[in-house]
């Protein structure tokens, strides 16, 4: 933010259209949503690893997410985290997980190490952390209420995994009327095909679910604010 305290409008080059759409956005009406960057979804020895998937593609976005977080905070964007969470003593992993069988690893029990957000992306004092038990972070209504009360209209998404919680939350945001941006290289997936599908499905039909950009484009645009 400039010395005078007045925010400068910005717009990010994205595909198939810029974000924010149709006008130059103000930092105060934009938010960065960091989805489920927890040990269980990107750290060796935890849920994803125990389920038989390679954690390397899920850790790869961490430095880029850190850059995006720094740019967002410096520019005055709202920063919110989602943290997938099961109450202590509960079983299962997510809605419908009983069908996976008793040997499938559990995930995100509140208070356990796997539930914690990775230290490289630790929330800061002004950031908001939303606990969620569902794939779509808007399901409980808390996230929408907070954003609406703050006057936020434009959402940028990053996190894990792009094809599950990121995509489900982004789609819900579109239905609620938010202008959405997917930061494609700030999201992980268990394999490249799922990542490619998730990105392409946002851009089809001239951006049916929003628009797509990179961490570099996001940070570069915010430097002017």
Active site residue 187: no
How far apart, in whole angstroms, are the C-alpha atoms of residue 186 and residue 60? 8
How far apart, in whole angstroms, are the C-alpha atoms of residue 17 and residue 159? 22
Q: Catalytic residue among 165, 180, 186, 187, which?
A: 165
Where helices occur in 131-191 by DSSP H, the ranges are 142-149, 167-175
Active site residue 36: yes
Residues in the chain: 225
How far apart, in whole angstroms, are the C-alpha atoms of residue 85 and residue 77? 25
Where helices occur in the chain by DSSP H, the ranges are 47-50, 56-59, 62-75, 142-149, 167-175, 192-207, 215-222
Is 81:129 a contact under the CB 8 Å cutoff? yes
CA atoms within 13 Å, Cβ hemisphere of 79: 19
Q: Catalytic residue among 36, 40, 163, 179, which?
A: 36
Q: Catalytic residue among 30, 40, 42, 132, which?
A: 132
Is 9:26 a contact under the CB 8 Å cutoff? yes
**Alpha carbon 163 to its chain's center:** 11
Is 130:81 a contact under the CB 8 Å cutoff? yes
Is 189:198 a contact under the CB 8 Å cutoff? yes
Which sequence positions are flagged as catalytic? 36, 132, 165
């Amino acid at each position: 933010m400039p010395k005078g305290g007045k925010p400068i409008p910005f717009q990010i080059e994205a595909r198939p259209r810029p974000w924010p759409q149709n006008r130059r956005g103000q930092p105060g009406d934009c938010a960065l949503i960091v989805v489920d960057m927890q040990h269980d979804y990107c750290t060796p020895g935890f849920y994803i690893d125990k389920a038989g998937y390679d954690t390397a593609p899920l850790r790869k976005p961490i430095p880029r997410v850190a850059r995006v977080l720094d740019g967002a905070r410096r520019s005055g964007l709202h920063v919110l985290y989602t943290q997938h969470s099961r109450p202590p003593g509960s079983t299962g992993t997510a809605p419908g997980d009983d069908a996976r069988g008793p040997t499938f690893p559990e995930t995100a029990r509140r208070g356990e190490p796997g539930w914690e957000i990775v230290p490289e992306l630790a929330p800061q004092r002004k950031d908001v952390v939303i606990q969620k038990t569902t794939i779509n972070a808007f399901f409980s209504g808390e996230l929408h209420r907070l954003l609406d009360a703050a006057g936020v209209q434009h959402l940028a998404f990053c996190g894990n995994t792009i094809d599950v919680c990121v995509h489900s939350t982004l789609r819900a945001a579109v239905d609620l009327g938010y202008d959405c941006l997917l930061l494609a290289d700030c999201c992980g997936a268990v394999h490249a095909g799922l990542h490619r599908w998730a990105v392409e499905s946002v851009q089809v039909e001239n951006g049916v679910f929003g628009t797509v950009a990179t961490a570099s484009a996001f940070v570069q645009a915010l430097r002017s604010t």
